Structure 1
Amino acid sequence: MALLLAGIAGCSGSPGRGDRTVPSAPPVRLVAYDGCDKLHEELQRATADKVGPFGLDDTPALPADGIRALGKAPSAAKAPGAAPEHSTTNSHEPGADEPDQVKTDGRRIVTVADGRLRVIDPATRKVTHTLELPGGHRSGDGELLLSGDRALVLSRSARMVPFDRPAPGQRPLPSPQQTMRLTLVDLSGAPKVAGSMTSGTDYLDARQSGSTVRVVVHSRPRIYFPGGNGRKKSVAANRDAVWEAPLDAWLPAFQLDGGQSFRTPCDQVSRPSSYAGSSMLTVLTFDLAKGLGDPRPVAVTADGSTVYGNGKSLYVTGTPPQLFTWPRKKTPESHTDVYKFDVSGKGRPRYVAAGSVKGFLLNQYSMSEHDGNLRMATTTSQVEPDDRSSQSSVYVLAQQGGSLKEIGRLDGLGKGERIHSVRFIGPTAYVVTFRQTDPLYVVDLKDPRRPRLTGELKINGYSAYLHPTADGRLLGVGQDADASGRTSGLQVSLFDVSGEPRRIGSYTLPGTTSQVEFDPHAFLYWPKTGLTVVPVRQRDGGTPEALALKVTGTGITMAGTVRNPSETPGTGVTRSLVVGDTLWTFSDDGARAVDASTLKDGDRLPYD
Structure 2
Amino acid sequence: MKKWMSGMLAGVIAIAAVPVWMSFESLGEKEAAASAKVAVASAKEVAPAADQSVLPKESDQPLPVVGSYEKLKKLLKDYEKGHGIQYGVAVKEAMEAVPAMEGAPVLKAKTAAAPTPDSSSYSPTNVQVQGVDEADIVKTDGTYLYQATPEEVRIIRAKPATSMELVSRLSFSGDEFSPQDMYIDEKRLIVIGQSHPKAVRDHIITNEKRFMHGHSNTMVQALIYDISDKHSPRLTRALEADGYYVSSRKIGSSFYLVTNKGIDWYALSNQSQEVPGPRYRDTAQGDDYKTIGYSAIRYFPEAIQPGYLIVAGANLDNPKQAASIHTYLGSGENVYASPNNLYVAVTQQEVESAGKAKKSLIAGGPVPIMKSETSLYRFSMKNGNLAYTGKGTVPGRMLNQFSLDEHNGYLRIATTTGDMWRTDENTSKNNLYVLDSQLQAIGKLEGIAPGERIYSVRFMGDRAYMVTFKQVDPLFVIDVKQPDSPKILGALKIPGYSDYLHPYDENHIIGFGKDAVADKETAFYQGMKLALFDVTDVSKPVEKFQTVIGDRGTDSELLYDHKALLFSKEKQLLAFPVSVHELTAEQKAEKDIRAYGSFSFQGAYVYRLNEQDGFVLRGTITHLNSDDMKKAGQDWYDSAKNVERIVYIGDTLYTISRDQVKANSLQTLTETNTLMLSK
TM-score (norm 2): 0.73
Matched to 1:474, the amino acid is I
Question: Unpaired segments of 5 or more residues in structure 1?
Answer: 1-28, 64-73, 226-237
Deviations, residues 179-211 of structure 1 (Å, cap 9, x unaligned): 322211221112233333444311100011001
> C-alpha distance in 2, partners of 1:155/1:585?
23
Task: Name the counterpart of 1:553.
Answer: 611
| Matching residue within 271, 296, 316 for 1:288 | 316
Task: Name the counterpart of 1:239.
Answer: 269
- 1:138 CA displacement: 9.6
Task: Name the counterpart of 2:602.
Answer: 544
1:123 aligns with 2:182: no
Tell me if structure 1 keeps the 8 A contact 2:430–2:453: yes
- 1:328 CA displacement: 12
- 1:581 CA displacement: 1.1
Matched to 2:549, the amino acid is L
| Matching residue within 376, 381, 401 for 1:338 | 376
- 1:117 CA displacement: 1.6
Tell me if structure 2 keeps the 8 A contact 1:286–1:292: no
- 1:599 CA displacement: 1.0
1:353 aligns with 2:390: yes
Aligned pair in 2 of structure 1 residues 57, 386: CA closer, same or farther (>3 Å)? farther
Matched to 1:108, the amino acid is Y
Task: Name the counterpart of 2:306.
Answer: 278
Task: Name the counterpart of 1:489.
Answer: 527
Tell me the SS of whatever aligns to 2:670.
Answer: coil
Matched to 1:31, the amino acid is L
Deviations, residues 124-167 of structure 1 (Å, cap 9, x unaligned): 33234222334445997521011222111011257995896999
Tell me if structure 2 keeps the 8 A contact 1:159–1:176: no
Tell me if structure 1 keeps the 8 A contact 2:497–2:514: yes
Deviations, residues 492-528 of structure 1 (Å, cap 9, x unaligned): 0001011121011011112222111111111110121
- 1:310 CA displacement: 1.4
Matched to 2:246, the amino acid is L
Aligned pair in 2 of structure 1 residues 291, 443: CA closer, same or farther (>3 Å)? same
Aligned pair in 2 of structure 1 residues 103, 298: CA closer, same or farther (>3 Å)? same
Task: Name the counterpart of 1:179.
Answer: 219
> C-alpha distance in 1, partners of 2:443/2:278?
37
Moved more, 582-591 or 313-322: 313-322
Aligned pair in 2 of structure 1 residues 169, 527: CA closer, same or farther (>3 Å)? closer
1:133 aligns with 2:174: no
| Matching residue within 462, 476, 491 for 1:456 | 491
Matched to 1:86, the amino acid is Y
- 1:482 CA displacement: 1.5
- 1:423 CA displacement: 0.2
Matched to 1:445, the amino acid is V
Tell me if structure 1 keeps the 8 A contact 2:495–2:516: yes
Task: Name the counterpart of 2:462.
Answer: 427
Aligned pair in 2 of structure 1 residues 60, 106: CA closer, same or farther (>3 Å)? farther
1:110 aligns with 2:143: no
Tell me the SS of whatever aligns to 2:563.
Answer: helix
Tell me the SS of whatever aligns to 1:521.
Answer: helix
Task: Name the counterpart of 1:370.
Answer: 407
- 1:93 CA displacement: 0.4
- 1:33 CA displacement: 2.0
1:508 aligns with 2:548: yes
Tell me if structure 2 keeps the 8 A contact 1:409–1:451: yes
- 1:455 CA displacement: 0.5
The count of aligned residue pairs is 548
> C-alpha distance in 1, partners of 2:212/2:293?
29
Aligned pair in 2 of structure 1 residues 396, 495: CA closer, same or farther (>3 Å)? same
Tell me the SS of whatever aligns to 2:671.
Answer: coil
Aligned pair in 2 of structure 1 residues 140, 548: CA closer, same or farther (>3 Å)? farther
- 1:316 CA displacement: 0.4
Aligned pair in 2 of structure 1 residues 213, 76: CA closer, same or farther (>3 Å)? farther
> C-alpha distance in 1, partners of 2:535/2:609?
16
> C-alpha distance in 1, partners of 2:353/2:384?
37
1:564 aligns with 2:623: yes
- 1:247 CA displacement: 6.1
> C-alpha distance in 2, partners of 1:273/1:170?
31
> C-alpha distance in 2, partners of 1:169/1:43?
26
Deviations, residues 208-256 of structure 1 (Å, cap 9, x unaligned): 100111000111224654xxxxxxxxxxxx7354xx45362x3333364
Tell me the SS of whatever aligns to 1:482.
Answer: strand
> C-alpha distance in 2, partners of 1:182/1:406?
36
Tell me if structure 1 keeps the 8 A contact 2:193–2:220: yes
| Matching residue within 220, 227, 234 for 2:262 | 220
Deviations, residues 312-344 of structure 1 (Å, cap 9, x unaligned): 11100012376699999943311111111111x
| Matching residue within 631, 650, 662 for 1:592 | 662
Tell me the SS of whatever aligns to 2:603.
Answer: strand
> C-alpha distance in 1, partners of 2:506/2:256?
33
| Matching residue within 652, 659, 671 for 1:582 | 652
Aligned pair in 2 of structure 1 residues 586, 395: CA closer, same or farther (>3 Å)? same
Tell me if structure 1 keeps the 8 A contact 2:114–2:129: no
TM-score (norm 1): 0.81
> C-alpha distance in 1, partners of 2:148/2:663?
17
- 1:173 CA displacement: 5.0
Larger fraction in helix: 2
Tell me the SS of whatever aligns to 2:269.
Answer: helix
Task: Name the counterpart of 1:253.
Answer: 280
Aligned pair in 2 of structure 1 residues 174, 583: CA closer, same or farther (>3 Å)? same
| Aligned pairs for 1:145-184 within 5 A | 145-156=183-194, 161=201, 175-176=215-216, 178-184=218-224
Tell me if structure 1 keeps the 8 A contact 2:311–2:326: yes
Tell me if structure 1 keeps the 8 A contact 2:421–2:427: no
Tell me the SS of whatever aligns to 1:57.
Answer: helix
- 1:588 CA displacement: 1.4
Tell me the SS of whatever aligns to 1:31.
Answer: coil
Aligned pair in 2 of structure 1 residues 602, 207: CA closer, same or farther (>3 Å)? same
> C-alpha distance in 2, partners of 1:201/1:366?
25
> C-alpha distance in 1, partners of 2:153/2:115?
16
| Aligned pairs for 1:14-53 within 5 A | 31-33=63-65, 35-36=67-68, 40=72, 43-46=75-78, 49=81, 52-53=85-86
| Matching residue within 468, 474, 478 for 1:439 | 474
Aligned pair in 2 of structure 1 residues 396, 75: CA closer, same or farther (>3 Å)? closer
User: Identical aligned pairs, as a percentage?
Assistant: 26
Task: Name the counterpart of 1:206.
Answer: 248
> C-alpha distance in 2, partners of 1:252/1:283?
12
Matched to 1:534, the amino acid is F
Tell me the SS of whatever aligns to 1:96.
Answer: coil
